[in-house]
Amino acid sequence: MKAIETTATINEVGEFILDKSFGGYKPQQVRVILLFAEDDEVDPDETPTEVVVEGIRQGLHEALTGKTIPLSKMWEGIDVE
């Protein structure tokens, strides 16, 4: 059995619409597992909006004030094996 993960939206009549098409598969019955976030549940993989906005502000400020480094120098001093 092959597993594919995607997202979907549940419409007003309770049907779910996949966000991605899965062409190339023969018509067949599939097993579906739906994972619902609780109203008060926080997704541990999602960065809080405030953190994202602050990062954008900081990056824009650094770019506007010239506090940047050339891309060619970004990896200097980092040992990658």
pLDDT, one tens digit per residue, over 27-65 is: 889 898 888 877 776 677 788 888 899 999 999 999 999
pLDDT computed for residue 12 by the predictor: 94
Average pLDDT over residues 8-31: 88
Distance, CA of 57 to chain centre = 20
Asked if 45 contacts 35 with a C-beta cutoff of 8 angstroms, the reply is no
Whole-number Å distance between alpha carbons of 23 and 8 = 16
Mean pLDDT of the chain: 85
pLDDT computed for residue 5 by the predictor: 86
Query: Which alpha helices (H) appear in the chain, and where do they start and end?
Result: 49-64
Helix (H, G, I), strand (E, B) or coil at 20: coil
